[in-house]
Structure 1
Amino acid sequence: MWIWQDLAARASRAAHGSSLVGTVTALVVTTLLIHLLVVYQRRQKLPPGPWPWPVVGNLFVLNGRPHRKLQKLAATYGGLMYIQLGERRCLVVSTAAAAKEVFKKHDQAFSSRPRSLVLTVLTAGTYRSLPAAPYGQYWRQLRRLANTRLFSPATHASHEGIRHGEVRNMMKVLVEESQKGTSTINLKKWLTGVTSNNMTMMITRNRYFDIRDKNQEKRGYDDVLRRSVDANGALVISDYVPWLSFITKLQGWEEYLLGLQRRGREMVAKIIEVDNHKRREKDVTKDESYVPDMVDVLLKAPLDDAGKPLSDGEISSLLLSLINAGTDTTATTAEWVMAELMANPDIREQAQAEIDTVVGLDRLVQESDIPNLPLLQAIIKETFRLHPAAPLSVKRESHEPCVVSGWSIPTQTELILNIYAIHRDPNMYDNPDVFRPSRFLEHPEVNPLSGHDFFELIPFGVGRRMCPGANLAYTLASLMVANLLHSFDWALPDGESPATMDMSEAISFVLYREKPLCLIAKPRRPASLY
């Protein structure tokens, strides 16, 4: 009898287990069907794009080299593509035609910024900085200050002596180092020294760093700068799936960013010395011949029509954002230029011959020479095209609904401008992966500084959120490269050749070279020239 009871009990448990499995299966299937239905209905009025996974959506595309992943997806779905990043909607622009369609008609609609943990911590939750501020009155006031006071044509011209002084200083030290003949030169280190000191000279009229990189303070500065830039391109899961914030905490993101914020503030406080500027302004015995620097300008500049001044914190935040944006990016661009010229020695020799003809042998290259160097300009443009400093623009966000190419785009849709893909758009460029400066000799009218006319070349972004220091970056990169070519013959280290050069990219918000460019320099001009 007990045997039959045991068999009956087992059958009951099996039936119960089968029922439980069936219930779970039905729940999973129902959930997936609801997910598919919701996604399908949502996407009816949105541009095409890859199907999102539950919870995370298409978030995987932001890992690794997102500019390349998004470029590959755009080849399937088109230049205007929709992706789901966790709980956030995102529009990806990957062709010149799509960029023109979006920004000619809807630039203002997409002129805000999405919130993120990185920006929240680095701005102490205020978002009161030029890159991070949402679209509105405060941002417009900051942008007006940048355009009319910090980077106006008159201000840019007044800083020409600073740029020449820093380039001359670099050339002098490079000549001394090359004459030792002991080792190769890490070119990126030297270029970063020029861009760093150029920024601090503009801000405070002080050369803050030893270009030879012998002191700990400069190495600390470089570290803060690199980490700040990298943080802006980091994938923080809680930005996209808030209920997964425990993962962000386990990763230690907030503590890391707070430490970075503290180090950045300490660094900029040493550089700008607001209190010293205020004391000098009140000093009745001050030198009347003193030329105001950026800190002086910002202390006097009204933030709005009512005459409200910027606070010390706002000045620090604004100048720190300019240092972050204008130092490593310009040095990285110049390094890529030299790398491409080392990989293409015939073009390098042509560029040197052009500079020698225009400039001569007894002086350094001046900014006034650059318009007379069409090949150099084409080389710089081609490098901007192949190696944009920021391959993906800082994300924008729509602050109002709009219709783009017939698609209904709702408010709070993020926008990613894939500059890397746009610059390799096969509809705009033949052999887009090949370094060929002659394409810009054939079309010299293409202007990367325009921001609203030539969407096939937009290294500094487009429209209202375009980099305000674009003219400075273009001028300084051109000046550094021209003088490096004019003053030195360059060679690769033993064992390397143009055909075997490593042109790999590092994974970051900025398109760094994975392997720093180390070269041998042989002076072409007497040391007395410097």
Structure 2
Amino acid sequence: MFLAFLFLTHPNMMCFHNIHLMFHATVFLWVISLIFLKRTKSNQSTEGLLPPGPKPWPLVGNLPELITKKPFYQWIHGLMKDMKTDIACVRFGDIHVIPIVSPKISLEILRKKDATFASRPTSFAASMFSRGYKTAVISPFGDQWKKMRRILLNELLCPERHRFFHDKRTKEADHLLQYVYNKAKRHEYVDIRVAVRYYCGNVIRSLIFNKRHFGKPMPDGGPGADEIEHVNALFSSLEYLYAFSISDYFPQLIGLNLDGHETIIKAACETFKKFHDPIIDERVNQLRRENEEVGVHPEPRDYLDILIMLRDKNGRLVLTPDEIKAQLTEIMMAAVDNPSNAVEWILAEMMKNPEILQKAVDEIDYIVGKDPRLVQEADIPRLNYLKACIREAFRLHPIAPFSVPHVAMEDTNVAGYLIPKGSHVLLSRVGLGRNPEIWHKPLEFNPERHFDGGSSELALVEPDMRFISFSAGRRGCIGQNLGTVMTVMLLARLLQGFSWSMPRGLSAIDLVESDKNLNLTKPLVLQAKPRLPLSMYYV
């Protein structure tokens, strides 16, 4: 009855005071009773060995807190701070959620116990976006995951393919420059969030579909309505993929849409199907028909061509259309968030710290030299201060509170605590990057902290897990090279091409995080002034 009361009286649930809610509450209590009856193993004998955490309620664990403490990630981090612990345990039903804010414990998970934590949780969102777990990133451990990861490593994101698609990435960096210039010459302010997400969306669409737009572009070269809808769906899917939905821990409740997540997830999936599926279906039919009838093996134009024509050693096609659709959507989701979020935050911090902006611009000018030319991917190894700015954004302003969850495939011991089989382990991007025991003045944006006094090349990867950029281990990010060049080129072209200032009449940028996620509360809007010869904006 406690849960029925909770659902009926919680402020966010007042709209449910009707027969529909009573039905949901009744079904919920019935499902919880079934869970209790089916439990074959009591946690009482092991709870003393679990990491510290809030006392769970009978049967449902900490579900009341999941419902009432919003945003939930802030409650978890506040709880761990109050308890002065680097590892905690929050229980939902029979699932233990283990948040971690310590680099040492994170390395134990990703290195010493990597094989044990190589799976992913199942959920409504993960199943929908992966079309039934047909992909490489969010699928649980198993043969399908191994197959798709091997394809990504060997066929799409290998060094040879990375070099092959260099010109596509460069072309999008050129288009970005032209788009911002068109804004500047009309004395229009630039919505940085639109610009950086537009760039990321165009890069990955060009790599996957060999096209920048689904529909008609805007006269200024910016995103049209279709591109805006598509990018919004990508960011919506990322926000709700691992969003502490009730049904993530009580899958018997899938279909009731108690927190509204299912509606949002279905809408994003429909957007992907609307834009992706016709292109993929047409190309599958065309290429496979041509190959069978004519025996033609054309040079691939994009990722889609590669996946369609991929064959095993016996000449059999490797992937079904559904696998292709699922994997390409997942690549899009993985490619757009980190670069765009980091660069928006960096420019916002540079408005507050103009000396950082000037150092970054001076470095670009020095590396590029006196002869007019645009910064290129070949310059990235020497753009260390720029990469230090990006590392600092990854540290202080991560795209999400936690990394993608790792699932324990067996009972194990970490940091002296029992981690039961099936536990969801969450490495905290916020807790690691803002850990005062690791970082001096952790809330201060200071790129200098990433230099150790040496002259060696900086990388965006953080092997010691003091913050998370591309994660690590066998479930780490496969696309580190792509993520690096997208992020560095995005920032470098914006800084090389334009002088940036705040809109007229604005004295300071509001560097406040949204109360829903880790984005800036308001999209960053700035004034751009061209600083290169006119001919360089039309390449």
| TM-score, structure 1 as length reference | 0.84
Whole-angstrom distance in 1 between the partners of 2:393 and 2:183 = 27
The structure with the larger Rg is 1
The reply to whether residue 397 of structure 1 matches residue 391 of structure 2 is no
1:48 aligns with 2:58: no
Distance of aligned partners of 1:376 and 1:286 in 2 relative to their CA distance in 1, 3 Å threshold: same
Q: Which residue of structure 1 aligns with residue 416 of structure 2? A: 406
Q: 1:220 and 1:265 mapped to 2: Cα distance?
A: 12
Cα distance change of structure 1 residues 414 and 358 upon mapping to structure 2, 3 Å threshold: same
Secondary structure, aligned partner of 2:392: helix
On the 8 A contact 1:448/1:460 being kept in 2, the answer is: no
Give the partner amino acid of 1:219.
I
User: Which residue identity does 2:535 align to in structure 1?
Assistant: S
The farther-off stretch of 141-150 and 305-314 is 305-314
The one of 161, 173, 190 equivalent to 2:195 is 190
Q: Do structure 1's residue 58 and structure 2's residue 62 form an aligned pair?
A: yes
Q: Gaps (5+ residues) in structure 2?
A: 1-41
Post-superposition shift, 1:103?
A: 1.7
- Asked if 1 retains the 8 angstrom alpha-carbon contact of 2:432 and 2:466, the reply is yes
Partner of 1:115: 122
Q: Which residue among 315, 320, 336 is the counterpart of 1:311?
A: 320
Q: Is the 8 A contact 2:381 2:457 kept in 1?
A: no
Alignment of 1:128-277 (within 5 A): 128-181=134-187, 183-208=188-213, 210=217, 212-213=221-222, 215-241=224-250, 248-249=256-257, 253-272=261-280, 273-277=283-287
Tell me: CA distance 1:378–1:121, structure 2 relative to 1, closer, same or farther (3 Å).
Answer: closer
Mapped partners of 2:490, 2:110: distance in 1: 32
1:299 maps to 2:308: yes
- d(CA) in 1 for partners of 2:450 and 2:509? 24
Alpha-carbon deviation of 1:322?
A: 0.6
SS of structure 2 residue aligned to 1:376? helix
**Are the counterparts in 2 of residues 141 and 303 from structure 1 also a CA contact under 8 Å?**
no
- The SS at the match of 1:381 is helix
Q: CA deviation at 1:328?
A: 3.4
One-letter code aligned to 1:92: P
Closer, same or farther: CA 150–494 of 1 in aligned 2, 3 Å = same
Percent identical pairs in the alignment equals 29
Whether contact under 8 Å (2:135, 2:323) holds in the other structure is: yes
How many Å separate the matches in 1 of 2:312 and 2:511? Answer: 45
CA contact (8 A) 1:448 1:454 kept: no
Decide which of 450, 462, 468 is 1:440's aligned counterpart.
450
From the superposition, tell whether residues 482 and 258 of structure 1 become closer, same or farther in structure 2 (CA, over 3 Å): closer
> What is the aligned partner in structure 2 of residue 72 from structure 1?
78
- 1:327 has 2:333 as partner: no
**Quick check: 1:504–1:513 contact (8 Å CA) kept in 2?**
yes
How much does 1:180 deviate?
Answer: 1.0
Q: 1:305 to 1:252 in 2, by over 3 A?
A: farther
Deviation at 1:266, TM superposition (A): 2.0
By how many angstroms is 1:226 displaced? Answer: 2.6
TM-superposed deviation, 1:214: 5.6
| CA-CA distance at 1:213 after TM superposition | 4.2
SS at match of 2:399: coil
Contact (CA 8 Å) 1:145, 1:303: kept in 2 or not? no
The residue identity in structure 2 corresponding to 1:100 is: L
Asked whether the equivalents of residues 387 and 460 of structure 2 are also in contact (C-alpha less than 8 Å), the reply is no
SS in 2 for 1:80: coil
Following superposition, the deviation at residue 135 of structure 1 comes to 0.6
The answer to whether residue 509 in structure 2 is matched with residue 501 in structure 1 is: yes
C-alpha distance in 1 between matches for 2:135 and 2:250: 26
CA distance in 1, matches of 2:457, 2:124: 37
Distance across 1 between alignment mates of 2:342 and 2:506: 22
Q: Does 1:462 align with 2:472?
A: yes
Q: Cα 1:524–1:270, aligned 2, differ >3 Å: closer, same or farther?
A: farther
How high is the TM-score relative to the length of structure 2?
A: 0.83
- Residue 463 of structure 1 deviates from its aligned partner by 0.9
Amino acid at match of 1:190: A
Pairwise CA distance, 1:196: 1.2
Contact 1:447 1:457 in 2 (8 A): no
Alpha-carbon separation, structure 2, partners of 1:67 and 1:185? 32
What is the rounded CA distance, in whole Å, between the counterparts of 2:91 and 2:443 in structure 1?
29
- Contact 2:352–2:509 under 8 Å retained in 1: yes
1:120 aligned counterpart, secondary structure: helix
In structure 2, distance between residues paired with 1:82 and 1:446: 39
Q: Distance in 2 between matches of 1:393 and 1:482?
A: 27
Superposed CA offset, 1:328-379 (max 9, x none): 3322222122112122111101111111111135011011112212211111
1:305 is displaced (CA, Å) by 9.0
2:510 is matched by which residue type in structure 1? D
CA pair 379-123 structure 1, distance change in 2 beyond 3 A: closer
SS in 1 for 2:104: helix
SS at structure 2 position matched to 1:177: helix
For 1:241 and 1:196, how far apart are their aligned partners in 2?
Answer: 34
**Does the 8 A contact of 1:208 with 1:271 survive in 2?**
no
Distance 1:65 1:303 in 2: 47
- Displacement of 1:61 in angstroms is 5.6
- Give the letter aligned to residue 337 of structure 1: I
SS at match of 1:274: helix
- Deviation at 1:508? 5.4
Q: Secondary structure at the match of 2:46?
A: helix
Match of residue 9 from structure 1: none
* Residue of structure 1 in register with 2:490 after alignment: 480
SS at match of 1:426: coil
8 Å CA contact 2:100, 2:426 repeated in 1 = yes
Residue matched to 1:368: 378
- Summarize the Cα distance change of 1:252–1:516 in structure 2 as closer, same or farther, 3 Å threshold: closer
Q: Is 2:102 the counterpart of 1:102? A: no
1:446 to partner: Cα distance? 9.4
* Aligned counterpart, 2:348: 339
Q: Return the alpha-carbon distance in structure 2 between the equivalents of residues 129 and 438 of structure 1.
A: 38
